[in-house]
Amino acid sequence: MPAHSYTPLELIERLVSFDTTSRNSNLQLIDFVADYLAGHGVKSTLIHDASGTKANLFATLGPPEAGGIVLSGHTDVVPVDGQDWHSDPFSVRRRDNRLYGRGTADMKSFCATALALVPEYLSQPRSTPLHLAFSYDEEVGCLGVHGIVKHLHAIGKRPRLCIVGEPTEMQVVDTHKASMGVDTSVVGLEAHSSAPHTGVNAVMVAADMISFLGRLAEELKGRKVPGAERFDPPYTTVDVGTVQGGTARNIVPRHCRFGWGVRAIPGTDLAEPLDRLERFAEQELLPRMRKVHAGAEIIHEVRARIAALRPEPGSPAESLVLSLVESNQTLAVSYGTEGGLFQEAGIPTVVCGPGNIRDAHKPDEFIELSQVAACEGFMRKLLQRMAA
């Protein structure tokens, strides 16, 4: 396999050109990365999902010894459906010192920059290994990274630290909230709308539960939790994102389904909102429903659970990355990353990457060219430190 060298900008264009929306396969991108690394003599391990249509990539540069530094990034992106883009989302457009395209901010620019510096890392002997860990399905619940963590456990080589390259404007994030996504389904009984007492209105039952979650959200907003002041907002949040139900205006609806989520301050009970909603449903709603229809049901399905990243003052990850960005300040964020899962595996972890999360997940997603340059400078400092 011939060796190819690319600039970070060239690799950003290549990675963005692969439509790796989470519902799609990411194998074309993974195969491209594996071939690129193979051209430089680096072997990749692919860790597939059960369907075989998606894969994580894990590769070690340098000596095979234990330890080393993980650069972690996800390859999937969120959908562009229904968004008003002014250019092809999967073709990078350069304008006004910005790169526009799906994944430019979240987070293919970090992955591309790490890959672009592979030849530089390999150009001289290193005593510290560098690991590249690129995952699938981060955007739908950090599903793929579990395979990487299991692989690290299986090979028995725990890295010394991990840097997750989510967009932080190259500032050091040492903590983020835990999150959980839930789908709640209500099964009632259809009836003619002129006789609603003969049916069980699934939409109205769902509305009762949504109202309960709204009251719970207000309660959580008023709680005082140590350390919460670092977050924006400084409390655990509960929100409902989707609702589907009913057939027609004149039919008492049999089904309703709503999707909701929790983002919890580290150290608090992530499951509390679901536990309390279940009790509310079992004690107040289901008895009333089953007086009319014994087969009425309320079903909760946890679709995603993301571990919190907890502060580790003075950890190898925090100390190294703060020194590289020449700062003594760490930040807290309310969005989730794969960092908490690496940390749970005993690997000190921080989040630091180019771009701003506010520019992600929306039409005309972009990253400032200055952020790509800052990431490249950060990576070069890291390589210099690893050579010391």
- From start to end of 113-254, where are the E strands? 130-135, 161-164, 172-176, 178-187, 191-192, 237-245, 251-252
d(CA 323, CA 310): 20
Give the list of residues 6+ apart from residue 64 with CB closer than 8 angstroms, or none.
Answer: 129, 157
- 88 tagged catalytic: no
For the chain, what is the largest distance between any 2 Cα atoms, rounded to a whole number of angstroms? Answer: 80
Token look-up 């509960």 returns: 238
Q: Which of 13, 76, 174, 365 is catalytic?
A: 76
Q: How many CA atoms lie within 13 A of 328 on its CB side?
A: 0
- The closest of 218, 219, 16 to 101, measured between CA atoms, is 16
- 138 tagged catalytic: yes
315 exposure class (CB count in 10 Å sphere: 0-12, 13-18, 19+): middle
Packing angle, helices 109-116 and 27-39, rounded to 10: 20
d(CA 362, CA 265): 25
- From start to end of 49-177, where are the E strands? 55-61, 69-74, 93-95, 98-100, 130-135, 161-164, 172-176
Q: Which of 138, 166, 174, 364 is catalytic?
A: 138
Strand partners, 189: 200
d(CA 271, CA 181): 11
d(CA 213, CA 217): 6
Which active-site residues does the annotation give?
76, 138
